[in-house]
């Protein structure tokens, strides 16, 4: 595997000044020699001066901030220059500029099955940067396309490993544990992109939903689960309130209830506390017997 190594370069400003002076000096020498009725030397300078200037100017290249230049000579990797500014190297070097800036992309909405087999739609945002310019250039073809395709493949793989909703207490799911899922997704994407010299900074889910064909059924299931959970909390609270009321009546000696009257009071209190609508009291003016 090709890995990046640093390549030193000559500062470009002095070379640019040298090329300018060489060109001006050559023109002045040609004019002077022609004035001296010389023929051969002006012709030589006319040929050599542009070639020398072209040689120097061709070797100049600039590297912008957060950019690197990958240098190769006749197909052989020479090194990478990350120093910003104007530089000079062998004019025969080919120089490929690679952006080191932080980039991101949002995947399309991918339709996959979660671990329970339910079809879902998922999309994610991946934040990445080039960490090794040589690997990005020589190990893969079109590293930007490689990042996108491999990231979507990793998102699909990750989504099939977890359920959409937790089926038991403490189970990790796509919807209930966003931080854990994001980290797992980042690690899986990083494993696929390491060979391309890419560093994945962050990944997070940007869209998560059931597929349209089952969305209504799943919504009804979620609503039923919410109603059951709410009723369970209401019943637990009502039982506690009834127990507290009976104990308070007994401790304060307000009324002494036998088992049948206690059961009747418990029934009435639970109806009042657990009903989902206002209850209508019935006043008993006689004995319950």
| 130/171 same-domain check | yes
Specify the pLDDT at position 150: 92
Residue 67: pLDDT band (50, 70, 90) is very high
Would you say residue 148 lies in a domain?
A: yes
- Rounded distance between C-alpha atoms, residue 76 and residue 58, angstroms: 19
Please check the confidence at residue 193 and state whether its pLDDT lies above 60: yes
Specify the pLDDT at position 27: 75
Q: Final residue of a domain: which of 210, 225, 259? A: 210
| 87/116 same-domain check | no
Specify the pLDDT at position 35: 67
Over residues 17-62, the pLDDT tens digits come to 888 888 777 777 767 666 676 667 767 777 777 788 888 888 888 9
Tell which residue, 108, 109, 120, has the closest CA to residue 212: 120
Q: Final residue of a domain: which of 99, 117, 139? A: 99
Q: Final residue of a domain: which of 177, 210, 243? A: 210
Domain that holds residue 171: 103-210
Average pLDDT over residues 169-179: 82
- Rounded distance between C-alpha atoms, residue 285 and residue 269, angstroms: 18
| 21/87 same-domain check | yes
Give the single-character DSSP code of 248.
H
| 225/267 same-domain check | yes
| 128/200 same-domain check | yes
Would you say residue 281 lies in a domain?
A: no
Q: Give one DSSP letter per residue of 2-48, joined into a string.
A: ----B---EEHHHHHHHHHHHHHHHHHHHHHHHHTT--HHHHHHHHH
Average pLDDT over residues 170-176: 81
| 66/15 same-domain check | yes
Tell which residue, 195, 201, 76, has the closest CA to residue 135: 195
| 107/204 same-domain check | yes
Give the single-character DSSP code of 277.
S
Enter the tokens of residue 106: 């949002």
Least confident of 98-112, 166-180, 211-225: 211-225
| 187/130 same-domain check | yes
CATH number at residue 112: 3.30.479.30
| 269/226 same-domain check | yes
Percent of the chain with pLDDT over 70: 79
Q: How many domains does the chain have?
A: 3
| 89/110 same-domain check | no
Q: Taking the model in full, what pTM does it have? A: 0.67
Enter the tokens of residue 11: 């500062």
């Amino acid at each position: 595997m090709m890995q990046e190594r640093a390549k030193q370069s000559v500062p470009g400003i002095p070379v640019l000044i040298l090329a300018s002076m060489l060109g001006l000096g050559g023109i002045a020498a040609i004019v002077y020699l022609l004035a001296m009725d010389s023929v051969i030397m002006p012709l030589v300078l006319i040929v050599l001066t542009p070639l020398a200037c072209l040689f120097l100017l061709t070797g100049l290249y600039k590297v912008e901030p957060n950019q690197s230049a990958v240098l190769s000579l006749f197909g052989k990797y020479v090194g990478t220059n990350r120093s910003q500014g104007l530089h000079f190297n062998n004019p025969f070097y080919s120089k490929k500029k690679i952006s080191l800036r932080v980039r991101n992309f949002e995947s399309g909405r991918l339709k996959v099955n979660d671990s329970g087999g339910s079809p879902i739609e998922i999309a994610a945002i991946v934040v990445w940067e080039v960490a090794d310019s040589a690997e990005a250039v020589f190990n893969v073809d079109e590293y930007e396309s490689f990042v996108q395709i491999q990231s979507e493949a990793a998102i699909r793989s990750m989504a099939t490993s977890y359920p959409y909703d937790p089926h038991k207490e403490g189970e990790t799911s796509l919807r209930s544990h966003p931080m854990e899922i994001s980290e797992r997704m980042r690690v899986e994407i990083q494993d696929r992109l390491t060979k391309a010299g890419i560093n994945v900074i962050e990944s997070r889910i940007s869209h998560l939903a059931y597929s349209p064909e089952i969305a209504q059924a799943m919504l009804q299931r979620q609503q039923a689960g919410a109603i059951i959970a709410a009723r369970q909390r209401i019943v637990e609270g009502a039982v506690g309130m009834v127990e507290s009321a009976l104990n308070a009546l007994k401790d304060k000696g307000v009324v002494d209830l036998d088992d049948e009257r206690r059961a009747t009071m418990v029934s009435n209190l639970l109806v009042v506390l657990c009903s989902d609508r206002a209850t209508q009291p019935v006043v008993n003016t006689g004995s319950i017997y």
